[in-house]
Amino acid sequence: QSFSKLSAQSRQSQMSDPDGDTDLAEKVKAEGNALFAQKKYTDAIRCYDRAIELSSRVASYYGNRAAAYIMLSRYHDALKDCRTSVSIDSNFLKGYLRLGKVLLNLGEFSESVIAFQKALVLDSSCHEAEQQLLMLKDIEDQLSSVEKRLSGGDARTALYHLDRCLQSAPHSTRLRLRRAELLIELGRHDEAAMLTTDLVRLDSSGPEVASELLLLRGLSLYYQEMHEKAQQHFAQALKMNPDCEKAKAAFKRSKRLAAAKDEANSLIKERNYEAACTAYTNALLIDPKHDAYNAKVHCNRALSLLHLDRLQEALEDCQAALNLQPDYANAMKRLAQVQQRLEQFEEAVKTCEELQRRHPSRENRAFLQEAQLALKKSKRKCYYKILGVGQTASDDEIKRAYKKKALLHHPDRHSSATEEQKRAEETAFKDVGEAYSVLTDPQKRRRYDAGEDLEDMQQGGAGGFNGMDPNQIFAQFFGGGGGGGFPSFHQQQHFHGGHHRGGGAGGMPGFSFSFG
């Protein structure tokens, strides 16, 4: 209300008494000072605006309005008023001190030094000016350290020194752009994106700075694999500054990355795994700094290598993907698959446990349980390996494999071997019989494939080998006609034409048997 009253008085004064404007301006200024003290900075600015309208050649009015602008973080407006205040009154000490602080805050360090030096000319004992100049010297040293560290490839320490400068110059567009650049260099793309978003919203610099800002914003999106949005930013940067070589290179590189991955992925779909491997290898050469993209390429190449049974290379690709992106769920899953193929069952379980810890879900819990079951199975005798058949082998394939392995390991065939060799062959013969007994019985085989322990299978009516020893299994197989076109036991006695009397260690007493 008092401000409205003063405004009315000023209009009346202008009409009746032109020479009374100075007095009224002082009253309006005093009203502004009172509002400033109450932290009502926007209202205070309105009073200072009116005071300047009434008397435009008073330096303190501009100085006071600059102080209110500073409190509202309107530093560019404050800078204009500070410059005006010292141009009106070249002996305005407060004006030079405030000008120096605003320039420092905006990162205009050279001009800030000049402002504080002028303040010292006006008052050689000005402690505030001396302290600010010492701060500026420290900033100069910190900026020198930034460049030195960067030239040595130490972006992390360079960022530390830059952040120290930003403590004194938090509204410096130049320093904040530099910070965004360092964050991108360090792979902290989320932070770079947030910083550049704030700068796009707040900064009102010219086209060259705006072009650099769009470039950095685009790079932060590019490294987060938002390639389409990144390309839009690069294109805008080039509109503002057609000569920006960095924006040109980034635009082309983004296009190449997308095309390379699409080509390799299409080869995977066509099951052309060898060509896909080559395409993924070429894709890795485009931008070695693009961790997110390269992690996916390594993971996808591992899939191609898995199909080609190049398991060790696939393992290395999965590990490379996780070195780039430790939280990459698909790479963890693929690593576990490769580890199982390499029979690294304990490592596969650890990988799945880490996957579930980082990405808890029902699907990943089931994946872990499958790995645990595979580990459990790996600790039993592998009947498929003992017979040398695959897990999908038919009954006929199992019978043929049993015939071959049983004849190979039968103890009578090794009667002249050393005691150690005899024991080894007896064990192998027993294992072949067990394998045959389980894998030719549909119920036993189903339970075995489900991961049940041998001890569990030997309990209950449906389990075990019913007390049958491997010699009985052998005798039944060859003596009972064998099935599947195998010769009879009596035909097998004269195998390869040789004749040997049974009854030796591990042999079958009461009948003769011949081995080739």
SS (H, E, C) 172-237: CHHHHHHHHHHHHHCCCHHHHHHHHHHHHHHCCCCHHHHHHHHHHHHHHHHCCCCHHHHHHHHHHH
Contact at 8 Å (CB) between 508 and 502? yes
Please report which confidence band the pLDDT of residue 230 belongs to, taking 50, 70 and 90 as the band edges: very high
Name which of 262, 181, 265 is nearest 223 in CA terms. Answer: 181
pLDDT (tens digit per residue) in 169-179: 999 999 999 99
pTM over 0.75: no
Cα(513)–Cα(429) distance, rounded to whole angstroms?
16
Contact at 8 Å (CB) between 233 and 214? yes
- From 222-236, 321-335, 374-388, 453-467, the region with the lowest mean pLDDT: 453-467
**Which of 206-215, 352-361, 501-510 reaches the highest mean pLDDT?**
352-361
Residue 458 has pLDDT above 70, yes or no: no
Mean pLDDT within 134-146: 96
Q: Residue 136 is encoded by which pair of tokens?
A: 């500026």
Cα(159)–Cα(168) distance, rounded to whole angstroms?
15
Percent of the chain with pLDDT over 70: 84
Q: Do domains 2-139 and 383-513 have the same CATH topology?
A: no
**Domain range summary for the chain, segments of one domain joined by +:** 2-139, 255-378, 383-513
Domain 255-378: give its CATH superfamily.
Answer: Tetratricopeptide repeat domain (1.25.40.10)
Helix axes of 189-202 and 173-185: crossing angle, nearest 10 degrees: 160
Q: For the domain 2-139, what is the CATH code?
A: 1.25.40.10
Please report which confidence band the pLDDT of residue 447 belongs to, taking 50, 70 and 90 as the band edges: confident
Percent of the chain with pLDDT over 90: 65
pLDDT at 199 (0 to 100): 85
Residue 461 has pLDDT above 60, yes or no: no
DSSP-based helix, strand, coil % in the chain, nearest 5: 75, 0, 25
Please report which confidence band the pLDDT of residue 3 belongs to, taking 50, 70 and 90 as the band edges: very low
Q: For the domain 383-513, what is the CATH code?
A: 1.10.287.110
Cα(226)–Cα(480) distance, rounded to whole angstroms?
70
Please report which confidence band the pLDDT of residue 474 belongs to, taking 50, 70 and 90 as the band edges: confident
- Provide the mean pLDDT of the chain: 86
Residue 455 has pLDDT above 70, yes or no: no
- From 130-139, 310-319, 370-379, 448-457, the region with the lowest mean pLDDT: 448-457
Helix segments in 342-410, DSSP class H: 345-358, 362-378, 383-387, 395-409
Mean pLDDT within 457-485: 55
Residue 157 has pLDDT above 60, yes or no: yes
Beta bridge partners of 299: none
Q: Can you tell me whether residue 245 is helix, strand or coil?
A: helix
pLDDT at 139 (0 to 100): 96
pLDDT (tens digit per residue) in 349-376: 999 999 999 999 999 999 999 999 999 8
Mean pLDDT within 454-467: 50
Mean pLDDT within 199-205: 68
